[in-house]
Structure 1
């Protein structure tokens, strides 16, 4: 691994090169792609949470001028295959779904029919003329109801609504319970979110009947896997499908899967031999795209008197919604596997249930394991509260230390090159905990509620192939890249990722520049086109830097080695030892220093392409190399979040006085991009913890389907975020990259809840459910038995008024 101080291009704070086109309005998004003659699709959606489809009358819609056709589930079933998910995982039941529902709808917003028309307005008008007769069925909208023996079945093919159930135990939980000072139980209820990207889902399918080829323009995080799904479900070869992803206005995990609407659009383009485009509106996105989270956890910690956790038990229940676009155990399994995170816990057991309900189906959202750190650090706080200890000290007692590494978590996951205690101490020092406790006590005497929270995060990032195999989850974690030095010496490169706002173009170019030895500005990275980019697993989790940047770096080194072999021949030296490429120049190590040889990379490239007979023996023409790389089973970054809050007892309003993140995410490709990702993740986590919530009523109606009801934090609600960089390299990845971008969500959810609970200690109540809206906090205050504290508040206000 290259020493950090040796980097020339990696680590430079270069501005994001894609920002120019975005800022001047020249980005190229899906709706900027003109396609003459394209039909517009509009979907007819169920107004019921659960109902049988008795009939669909399309006659009136088909008769409208400008309507090219109306199609239902039976039509699409003729042209596409069903999606069947049946990985061989114990306790996971196989599930299957048709492209559009045929017999019944399972959630409010389920697509029942699709209208194609000459323009979007006609399509929407015609959709309102489609008459669907339903027979409503009772909806199940929470996991408790869904698990009752007499509950209506969401999926008729299953014996019940429990779609996945896994157990695990390591060590001797019973023995640890028996020797414990006490058992501390804590509850955590993370509510349902949705992704809300600025750009909603959409696609443009163009079937070429002459070539029998489909070109799919779609904002997707994983172009190659999507191509494979499209080809398979359309009964086509992958060579008949090209996926092109233009600029994407946000994704956050929502644009990975092939959704039913997109498959229907592709099938109809092929059926009608015409281009078809679709763009969902905001209400469709909020009700029908994909949801996330909604996880209920209970922990039981067996603890000593000093707060040391001897054993830990987890019960987790996840509401997965009505359909499975991913194996149902996927997100919950990761939470359970990494839960113990930054703490020395050897005895651990979990019981994980995933349940179907009549809600929009769940999928990964930025940090699918978001609840993990709240559950673990919230349990630490519950232990401290139960034992009357300082929460910081309980963390110190349990924290992993340098001498503990590498540390095998009870589930077998190995932590190495992480610094959880170091980031904890840095955050605690920055806050000055003793000084805060003094201010907190003075504030309480004055009737004010101040709280301090900590949350230490172990963020799983890369997900190598071995992780998927060990977890029993189908998938690969490898990545692929190619690097081509053109005859002029400029560099084209490509990788199987696709950015959706992360700023990949600059840091990935820096990784190529570092590996090759050329200025970053001479490198262009191509992504998002399956006919150009090599087959890769796309953007998800925190794998962009480690898998994508690491693969490009290694591939660039391979290209460098070939270029230097050619240069050696041009310089009449025996081999490339003592040669390097530096800023695009070939340099020799002579007289104990690097000297310019008189050759440039451009000279070498011209020889490689235009004079192949002069190449050294065994060297093939050209400078075009490719490489695949499978990273370690898992890499981890870590951070500690610290947050000071104040709660207004009269209204429940929460204000954040200070927010600190001590972060270790390994070698940083570009600090500008990394800082933006850290700030964005914290903002997104706080927004979800304080404001966002998908709400269904008892009939399965989504009553949060507009931005008037589904609230998202603006810049006014997000505090200033102080970041303390504490980066240490990973010894098993190229240049020491660890990855990051989801830990900010994990930490912010946990730290804000912990800070609120710290403030509420005098009240005698504990937050167990998010979001932390003023209404929810005020309800806790009203319900609490806290006469003395109320008297203090009242007396303080009277004194203030008199003064």
Structure 2
């Protein structure tokens, strides 16, 4: 090796660029690897026997006919698996919360249609599917609580240890705080809003493969998850193992949206049963199971109130919220519900607020996380603001302008109990979205259309959301960066390919941090035996947390590079600049490339690791969604015309990725506003457990989405803020407000979701149309 001078390369800046996704090559050519692609020697397959009743006693389970079927290896019931549970708490809350029941298999009583009662193990999936039909379960049907709104006054208890079917209640500032403001208000808006149950419906259903090593008793888990290290920690606790004896591999995951944040009861069963069988054990959920048993979300209602001065200024706000948590929620739902009350004031100048929330059991599928779990706060607030504006004789846009926070007014105290709003731009993104629409021009078009017998509407939703919170579990993210003697850079992070493009973004961040080309950076992710701890994809945390981990690790690595180069260059490490792919001494011709330095370090090259810990209590993202639509007042059909999002997630790592996240969430929100509905009959039977009955939005329902970006930096790494959940939060209120605006000439008020054609026709009929 010679110490010849090396001309510094031209600096390249990747962060903020529309870099093509590195994942797409394998995914678009069919080379992705999902859980169902995993094959292991002698692998066995599992299927669940599920309850056909919403509530029933289990008198007896006879598996003899199933066991007699050739190819069936075992049938496990609660007596076989449940006693083997050591601990089953989740890291995000810890072991001390007053958690809800979570038995792997149903014990004595089933509590919803789809409740897993027994587990069949067979040589292949086909035999297992046949065998579950042969397991005879003697059920004694009982009356079920199908509607959580009846549960608190019912004599029937979903779980005997929870009186009135209440899992827990929380409250913020007491009602007395706002009494004076409501007593003196010129106008009060007071409505109760109800949102139906719907679900994430990821393209890939849940799945898991578990294999024990015969030589040392270690266990390897392949799973579709958003949080490999949480699966490792949970699996170790469940099985009574040291964490280092559990290896979790997540390859590609076909969407999660919250449903795959933590292991559920079926995952517990497979982990426990795998210890009792002589080979790897696989379970892949089918679509009917996913819709019937993978959990519900959104199902909730609330009485929302706002007090206004005569000029429309908001004086106070309050919400009394209740949510359906089904029979077996995951994780603890009471804590998550508090966010509805805490965020109800939204991005507005609300001086006083009160809230309460109650989590209620029912004999339906358990509540689970779904993109923006607190989203109801925006539904209730934004629908209430439109109703209030019409009652006040104001345009809904004008009412918002009089009350919305601008960036110059921040920080602003959140009156419900959260840290102050900061580093955001609610009014600015609101005006940006309205300019993109040309709001005044639309109102003129709307008036002309009404004169011609057509009913157009426009609706908005402006929200502010906490991302990348400083909550201890979500605050940490580690990274390792290695440079080998060829100069190739490898960045190792928890990561995860679940559609959120962490492979692409971490390569962009690393290339910038070291001043190298994208092509010279690889990434290793998704394997807990090789990656440092990371809390996974949840809480809109990945962008800022990963950026912090890469930045801190790159800083450590640059120091190492300077230390190694200093002896050869004959100068002190502090006199060396490490950037743009080399270590150099300013003002001289002395320089060494990263490859030359890595060669000095030996065959393994040079490596550094660091852990980023979030210091800000939370990073506030915000956006405005604007939707226009046309409603056929005869059929109730809603046609979306334009959809605009003005957003501020701070400096974007990759605008393509940010827009993809917004689009995905927006489409899910459109589905929740108009189509998706997990319907149960009065006996608790699910009526939408196939795609024939559970309606998803398609390209015919979703218009082209237009984006406007603002970039108010946050105090976190790189100024980046979260982008993953906002689309699903903002879309339902914007769509519903647009529909209600279209039907405002008829005096229609929409307080129940979804706004299906049948529901709209009923409202129009009730209004006398």
- Name the TM tier (shorter chain): over 0.9
Using the TM superposition, give the Cα deviation of residue 627 of structure 1 relative to its aligned residue in structure 2, in angstroms: 2.4
- Distance of aligned partners of 1:489 and 1:769 in 2 relative to their CA distance in 1, 3 Å threshold: same
Using the TM superposition, give the Cα deviation of residue 341 of structure 1 relative to its aligned residue in structure 2, in angstroms: 1.9
Matching residue of 2:537: 539
Please tell me whether residue 193 in structure 1 is matched to residue 203 in structure 2: no
Residue correspondence of structure 1 range 540-619 to structure 2 within 5 A: 540-577=538-575, 579-582=577-580, 584-590=581-587, 597-609=590-602
Aligned match of 2:751 in 757, 768, 778?
768
Cα contact 1:83–1:96 (8 A) shared by 2: no
Please tell me whether residue 235 in structure 1 is matched to residue 240 in structure 2: yes
Q: Distance in 2 between matches of 1:721 and 1:88?
A: 37
Matching residue of 1:659: 643
Question: TM-score, length-normalised on structure 2?
Answer: 0.95
Matching residue of 2:8: none
- Distance of aligned partners of 1:103 and 1:706 in 2 relative to their CA distance in 1, 3 Å threshold: same
Please tell me whether residue 670 in structure 1 is matched to residue 663 in structure 2: no
Using the TM superposition, give the Cα deviation of residue 94 of structure 1 relative to its aligned residue in structure 2, in angstroms: 4.1
Aligned match of 2:625 in 641, 654, 657?
641
Matching residue of 1:796: none
Q: Distance in 2 between matches of 1:224 and 1:764?
A: 53
Q: Secondary structure at the match of 2:602?
A: helix
Q: Secondary structure at the match of 1:176?
A: helix
Cα contact 1:481–1:533 (8 A) shared by 2: yes
Using the TM superposition, give the Cα deviation of residue 517 of structure 1 relative to its aligned residue in structure 2, in angstroms: 2.0
- Distance of aligned partners of 1:528 and 1:637 in 2 relative to their CA distance in 1, 3 Å threshold: same
Q: Secondary structure at the match of 2:298?
A: strand
Task: Extract unaligned runs of 5+ from structure 2.
Answer: 1-10
Matching residue of 2:694: 710
Please tell me whether residue 435 in structure 1 is matched to residue 441 in structure 2: yes
Matching residue of 1:487: 485
Residue correspondence of structure 1 range 201-240 to structure 2 within 5 A: 201-240=206-245
- Distance of aligned partners of 1:536 and 1:708 in 2 relative to their CA distance in 1, 3 Å threshold: same
Structural RMSD (CA): 2.1
Q: Secondary structure at the match of 1:408?
A: coil
- Distance of aligned partners of 1:676 and 1:326 in 2 relative to their CA distance in 1, 3 Å threshold: same
Q: Give the number of equivalent residue pairs.
A: 756
Q: Secondary structure at the match of 1:407?
A: coil
Q: Distance in 2 between matches of 1:88 and 1:208?
A: 31
Residue correspondence of structure 1 range 36-185 to structure 2 within 5 A: 36-81=41-86, 83=88, 93-148=98-153, 150-169=154-173, 172-185=177-190
- Distance of aligned partners of 1:186 and 1:293 in 2 relative to their CA distance in 1, 3 Å threshold: same
Cα contact 2:198–2:296 (8 A) shared by 1: yes
Cα contact 1:514–1:553 (8 A) shared by 2: no
Matching residue of 1:370: 375
Q: Secondary structure at the match of 2:276?
A: helix
Q: Secondary structure at the match of 2:119?
A: strand
- Distance of aligned partners of 1:555 and 1:86 in 2 relative to their CA distance in 1, 3 Å threshold: closer
Q: Distance in 2 between matches of 1:45 and 1:628?
A: 43
Matching residue of 1:779: 762
Cα contact 1:609–1:623 (8 A) shared by 2: no
Using the TM superposition, give the Cα deviation of residue 610 of structure 1 relative to its aligned residue in structure 2, in angstroms: 6.2
Matching residue of 1:455: 461
Matching residue of 1:415: 421
Q: Distance in 1 between matches of 2:134 and 2:125?
A: 15
Aligned match of 1:734 in 717, 722, 728?
717
Using the TM superposition, give the Cα deviation of residue 167 of structure 1 relative to its aligned residue in structure 2, in angstroms: 1.5
Q: Distance in 1 between matches of 2:537 and 2:299?
A: 23
Using the TM superposition, give the Cα deviation of residue 658 of structure 1 relative to its aligned residue in structure 2, in angstroms: 1.2
* Deviations, residues 414-434 of structure 1 (Å, cap 9, x unaligned): 211100000111112222222
- Distance of aligned partners of 1:766 and 1:246 in 2 relative to their CA distance in 1, 3 Å threshold: same
* Deviations, residues 683-712 of structure 1 (Å, cap 9, x unaligned): 121122111110111111011000000011
Residue correspondence of structure 1 range 313-462 to structure 2 within 5 A: 313-410=318-415, 411-462=417-468
Cα contact 1:185–1:298 (8 A) shared by 2: yes
Cα contact 2:484–2:603 (8 A) shared by 1: no
Cα contact 2:585–2:591 (8 A) shared by 1: no
Q: Distance in 2 between matches of 1:71 and 1:529?
A: 30
Matching residue of 1:792: none
Cα contact 1:87–1:327 (8 A) shared by 2: no
Cα contact 1:585–1:596 (8 A) shared by 2: no
Aligned match of 2:742 in 742, 759, 766?
759
* Deviations, residues 609-628 of structure 1 (Å, cap 9, x unaligned): 369xxxxxxxxx94332323
Cα contact 1:299–1:314 (8 A) shared by 2: yes
Q: Distance in 1 between matches of 2:136 and 2:255?
A: 35
- Distance of aligned partners of 1:71 and 1:456 in 2 relative to their CA distance in 1, 3 Å threshold: same
Q: Secondary structure at the match of 1:232?
A: helix
Q: Secondary structure at the match of 1:44?
A: strand
Using the TM superposition, give the Cα deviation of residue 597 of structure 1 relative to its aligned residue in structure 2, in angstroms: 4.1
Aligned match of 2:267 in 257, 262, 266?
262
Q: Secondary structure at the match of 1:481?
A: strand
Matching residue of 1:528: 526
Using the TM superposition, give the Cα deviation of residue 444 of structure 1 relative to its aligned residue in structure 2, in angstroms: 2.0
* Deviations, residues 386-411 of structure 1 (Å, cap 9, x unaligned): 11111111101111123321112111
Matching residue of 2:17: 12
Q: Distance in 1 between matches of 2:407 and 2:531?
A: 40
Using the TM superposition, give the Cα deviation of residue 570 of structure 1 relative to its aligned residue in structure 2, in angstroms: 2.6
* Deviations, residues 153-212 of structure 1 (Å, cap 9, x unaligned): 111222230111112117830111122102111232221111211111111111113211
539-548 vs 627-636, which deviates more?
627-636
Q: Secondary structure at the match of 2:357?
A: strand
* Deviations, residues 642-673 of structure 1 (Å, cap 9, x unaligned): 11111111111111111111111111111121
Q: Distance in 1 between matches of 2:41 and 2:577?
A: 54
Q: Secondary structure at the match of 1:205?
A: strand
Aligned match of 1:650 in 622, 634, 645?
634
* Deviations, residues 38-77 of structure 1 (Å, cap 9, x unaligned): 1110100000001111110111111111110111001002
- Distance of aligned partners of 1:586 and 1:84 in 2 relative to their CA distance in 1, 3 Å threshold: closer
Question: TM-score, length-normalised on structure 1?
Answer: 0.91
Using the TM superposition, give the Cα deviation of residue 588 of structure 1 relative to its aligned residue in structure 2, in angstroms: 4.1
Cα contact 2:41–2:279 (8 A) shared by 1: no
Q: Secondary structure at the match of 1:187?
A: strand
Please tell me whether residue 509 in structure 1 is matched to residue 502 in structure 2: no
Q: Distance in 2 between matches of 1:422 and 1:569?
A: 53
Q: Secondary structure at the match of 1:256?
A: coil
- Distance of aligned partners of 1:87 and 1:213 in 2 relative to their CA distance in 1, 3 Å threshold: closer
Please tell me whether residue 697 in structure 1 is matched to residue 684 in structure 2: no
Q: Secondary structure at the match of 1:97?
A: coil
Q: Distance in 2 between matches of 1:266 and 1:313?
A: 44
- Distance of aligned partners of 1:115 and 1:596 in 2 relative to their CA distance in 1, 3 Å threshold: farther
